Amino acid sequence: DQQVKQNSPSLSVQEGRISILNCDYTNSMFDYFLWYKKYPAEGPTFLISISSIKDKNEDGRFTVFLNKSAKHLSLHIVPSQPGDSAVYFCAASSQGGSEKLVFGKGTKLTVNP
Amino acid sequence: DVKVTQSSRYLVKRTGEKVFLECVQDMDHENMFWYRQDPGLGLRLIYFSYDVKMKEKGDIPEGYSVSREKKERFSLILESASTNQTSMYLCASSLSLGSNQPQHFGDGTRLSIL
């Protein structure tokens, strides 16, 4: 049973536009959510996180939104840049990001110049 | 900056061999993790450790074991390598339980079992 789902395997956007990556979860015990970015042949890099007590967290061009009632979170990248092209993983944990993480399968983002 | 170093970027081994993957972190983190990443499956947790000499099974521990003799080092062992263990292996570390700090990853070891 997949507890964290990223239903779009891929997404393509134009440079300068907004990229929206989506993630759904089923476990109501999750209280901490993270996004990681991964380039080929490199390890995942932490991007941004959000605690369940918030509904929005912003860091520069990256914003994560959390809708607890819908068990849904999204990552917005504005404006998108070609260097953002990577695989993005959503992850969740039940006791903070240091604990065991459950990952989605990833969404490959391509930003076209 | 947190540095998680995996000893090999690429490794080729034969079926039946005992394989050791090494991971070292330099930030005095208590927690360390081993994942494997396969296309279309995301990252799956193999084993993790909250302290020296302590280990817990993740979601796919079969065919693997781990060792944590020192706080900074976490080893993944394939007791008798099989072709279905060909994968990208990722090590991660994080500060401590309940610290709300993210896991930091190494660059991975791409392991091929022939």
Mean pLDDT, residues A14-23: 98
Return the pLDDT at B2: 67
Q: Cβ of B105 and A45 within 8 Å?
A: yes
Mean pLDDT, residues B65-70: 96
Nearest alpha-carbon partner for B105 in B11, B15, B18, B5: B5
B26: pLDDT strictly greater than 90:
yes
Return the pLDDT at A100: 81
Tell me the per-residue pLDDT of A25-39, one tens digit each, with 9 for 90 and over.
Answer: 999 989 899 999 999
Tell me the per-residue pLDDT of A62-75, one tens digit each, with 9 for 90 and over.
Answer: 999 999 999 999 99
| Residue A74: C-alpha distances to residues A11, A15, A85, B106 (Å) | 13, 19, 17, 25
A84: pLDDT strictly greater than 80:
yes
| Greatest alpha-carbon span in chain A | 40
Cβ atoms B47, B34 nearer than 8 A: yes
> Confidence band (pLDDT; 50, 70, 90) for B39?
confident
Strand pairing report for A56-59 and A10-14: unpaired
Query: For chain B, what is the mean pLDDT?
Result: 93
Q: Chain A interface, mutation test: which of B94, B96, B97, B111, most A Cβ atoms within 10 Å?
A: B94
Nearest alpha-carbon partner for A11 in A74, A73, A87: A87
> Which run of H or E residues covers position A24?
strand A19-25
Residue A97: its chain B contacts at CB < 8 A? 94, 100-103
CA distance to partner chain A, nearest, from residue B10 (Å): 10
* Helices marked H in A3-112: none
A94: pLDDT strictly greater than 90:
no
Neighbour tally for A7: CB within 10 Å: 10
**How many residues does this entry show for chain A?**
113
- The C-alpha atoms of residue B52 and residue B99 are separated, in whole angstroms, by 18
Query: For chain A, what is the mean pLDDT?
Result: 93
Q: Which of residues 78-107 of B touch A (CB under 8 A)?
A: 90, 92, 94-107
Cβ atoms A15, A113 nearer than 8 A: yes
Return the pLDDT at B25: 96
The region of weakest confidence among A4-8, B44-48, B78-82, B101-105 is: B101-105
Cβ atoms A88, A35 nearer than 8 A: yes
